[in-house]
Amino acid sequence: MELDQHMPSWSRLMEARLTESPWLPGTLLGRLDEPTRRAFLALGVPRTAAASRVILEEGAEESHVVLLQDALTKVTVAMPDGRHALLDVRVSGDLIGEISALNGTPRSATVTTCRQSTVRIIHRNDFRAFLRGHPIAAMEIAGIVADRLRLANRRRVDFASYPVKVRLARVLWEIAAAYGHRERDGIVVDIQLTQSELATMCGAAEITLQKALRELRASEVISTGYRQVIVRDSPALRAYADVRE
């Protein structure tokens, strides 16, 4: 089984990273045309958040949205056993909190900064008024929500169809392609993910994930440091992940 046609390929994602635009194509700001983007960036109040700062908290009764202007964050949910499951990563150009703003429900997840970040806090009324005046932006947000649902569904299929090492390779491929940066040793992913968070993202026990990590390290596909992964051989990682361009 290969990744579905809606998943961007490694080469397309990495090519996008090298363009002049500071916004990745999958983010909201990356999808908007320039006039709409400027109008959206004029909304709200800018704030600076230190690393490891919670900017949205699961269960909170609040309805503003947060635009990540220069940020790297992780999205987690609490599990019954006290652990926190990593759902995804959000970066500069992404919008978070839109579900609560649109339907008035409590926050469904916690969003924490992975480095010092600049964000814009946008009141729910201003956000909804903007969408009424910019229907294309509303359609793009709907498209992003649909993409996230498709990815969540694909991961559920992965959990049922693939062993842990393949699931781990797919998660590392997705994160490295979208959020990694090139250095001399390879594609560096320094999002400060714990092994526990990575295990929950792969749907695996932590001890099983550690074994899969050791196998990828032994094959010199990746190397690891303190909350850091370096992809040293991207074609090999794609092969482990069963990804086809």
**Three-class SS state of 203:** coil
Residue positions counted in the chain: 245
Q: Whole-number mean pLDDT of the chain?
A: 85
Q: How confident is the model at residue 22 (pLDDT cuts 50, 70, 90)?
A: confident
Percent of the chain whose pLDDT exceeds 90: 49
**Res 199: pLDDT:** 84
pLDDT single digits (tens) 36-62? 999 999 999 999 999 889 999 999 999
pLDDT single digits (tens) 183-205? 888 998 877 777 888 887 787 88
- Taken in order 145, 151, 154, 160, the sign of the CA dihedral is negative
Does 190 or 182 have the greater pLDDT score? 182
Please provide residue 244's backbone torsions phi and psi, each rounded to the nearest 5 degrees. -120, 130
**Res 20: pLDDT:** 47
Task: Give the Cα-Cα-Cα angle 199, 203, 208 (nearest 5 degrees).
Answer: 55
Highest mean pLDDT among 1-15, 65-79, 125-139, 156-170: 125-139
Ordered DSSP codes for 170-218: HHHHHHHHHH-EEETTEEEE-S---HHHHHHHHT--HHHHHHHHHHHHH
Residue-range domains of the chain with CATH: 19-156 (2.60.120.10), 164-241 (1.10.10.10)
| Separation between Cα atoms, residue 111 and residue 72, nearest integer Å | 10
> Looking at the DSSP assignment, which residues form a beta bridge with residue 230?
188, 223
